[in-house]
Structure formats: C-alpha cells, structure tokens
Structure 1
C-alpha cells in the first residue's frame, strides 16, 4: 500500500472517476493519505462527486508520472471520525485553507477494497491488492 500512496503523492494530481447514473465523471484530486493501513481521499460533501460515491461506491483513480502510471480501482466508504480527518489535514496542509475537522463539509473516504496496477513502458504491469 505504501507504494500506491507514494506514487499518488509523487504525481500530485490524480484523477478520480465516479458514476453519475450511466455516465462516467472524472475530476482532479490531490489529497491522499494512508491511515489505519487504508488509502484515504478527501472531498466536500456538497460536491457531486461525494453524492455519486454515496450512490455508487465503486471508483477508479488514474495518475501518470513520466513513463509510469497507476490505475486504482475499488470501493470507498466514508470515515466520519475526527482522527481520520485530522490525519488527512496533517498530511495535506493546503486543505486547512478550505476545511476543518468540524466544519460539516469536510469528508474523508477510504478504500474498503481494491486493486492497484502499476504500468510502465519499461516492463510488465504490477498488481497489488489493497
């Protein structure tokens, strides 16, 4: 799992895909943290992406850096704990300009299960179960 977090942090911006009924929706994300041995992302509960993840918890993340890229597919769930939100804010200080642990907007979600596949023009794909 550390390899997944390290790669996403290294690329800075990654793209999260959700489903809006039968239409895929993709948007840039940048906040990620490993907490309790799980991969966490963050958003605002007034955004469409949060509502879409509530309706259909299957998501996919894609990111690229040079000749390497990752596809992370799985399901997510909300963690409303203050500890998880604090961990996200500490790992991503820029979020503190927008959110606080108790603002009623800030949400963190974690992958309950999933598969991360690393690709490269230099070799064979490597798959990790998370």
Structure 2
C-alpha cells in the first residue's frame, strides 16, 4: 500500500469511528485468557501515519493490553457498513504522542465525563495500533479490507 493509500485508509477509519457515538473494543482478560472483555470507546485519531486511541492507566483495559496487546474493535453506523479492526496496541508509543493529540484526547475524555487534570495527566495514555487491519462489511455480504 502506498503512503497516500495508507493515509487515506487511516482517514477513512478515523472518520468512521468518530462519526458514531461509540464503538466497542475487545481485549483478553489478564487473569483468564479464555475470557474476552468488551467496553465502549469513542476517541480515535490519525497522527504520524498511525491510528491512535486513548484510555487511562487505572482502567482494566490498560492492564489487559499491557498483558496482551492484541485487540479487536467493532462499530456500526446505521444505513452503512459495520467495521471490524484488529491489531496490537503499542502502549510504548505514548511517549511519542504529540501535544495536539494529547489535547484532543483530553478534551474528548472530559466531554464524556472522565476527569483528568490536564492533557499531560500521567493517568492518560495514548496508544497507536500496530499490524492494523480494518474490515468494512455490509449486510449484503460485500467486504473491503484496509491494512494500515
């Protein structure tokens, strides 16, 4: 995939995810590898040619991703296709998250009722996606796949 195609894929994924109220991210329970855990997410951004999400270090999802970085997310926009994204969370990438990304994540989290002191609150963590694959699937059986 060319850089332009990869950028367009990321933009399409972010536009989709930010165009719905919530999508659902699944991880594996750190104490029981046979048990998936699912929760709503709603912050997504593209930066540095990567897909980014945010959470808090004091949440189960952070501990689960630290233990096993593999995840899958799914969301649906009425009247359109649904999306399934698989990948691995790069929690170490938090150190390279820009000030603009941190500000956007902080404002989003505050907007949904999460309480953090600032965009640089140590509890906030920003992670990028490695080995990302997005499947856009429609009820008619059609599917598009984007690798990023």
TM-score, normalised by the number of residues in structure 1: 0.89
Summarize the alignment of residues 1-130 of structure 1 with structure 2, pairs less than 5 Å apart.
Answer: 1-20=10-29, 21-67=33-79, 68-78=81-91, 79-81=93-95, 83-84=97-98, 86-90=100-104, 93-96=107-110, 98-99=115-116, 100-122=118-140, 124-130=142-148
Q: For 1:90 and 1:75, how far apart are their aligned partners in 2?
A: 22
Structure 1: 5+ residue runs without aligned partners? none
Q: For 1:85 and 1:57, how far apart are their aligned partners in 2?
A: 24
Which structure shows the higher strand fraction?
A: 1
Structure 2: 5+ residue runs without aligned partners? 1-9
Note if contact 1:74-1:113 (Cα within 8 Å) is conserved in structure 2: yes
Q: Which has the larger radius of gyration?
A: 2
Aligned length: 130
Q: For 2:90 and 2:11, how far apart are their aligned partners in 1?
A: 20
TM-score, normalised by the number of residues in structure 2: 0.79
Q: For 1:32 and 1:13, how far apart are their aligned partners in 2?
A: 10
Over aligned residues, Cα RMSD in angstroms? 1.9
Structure 1 position 60, deviation (Å): 0.5
Note if contact 2:28-2:64 (Cα within 8 Å) is conserved in structure 1: yes
Farther-moved stretch of structure 1 (89-98 vs 73-82): 89-98
Aligned to 2:7: none
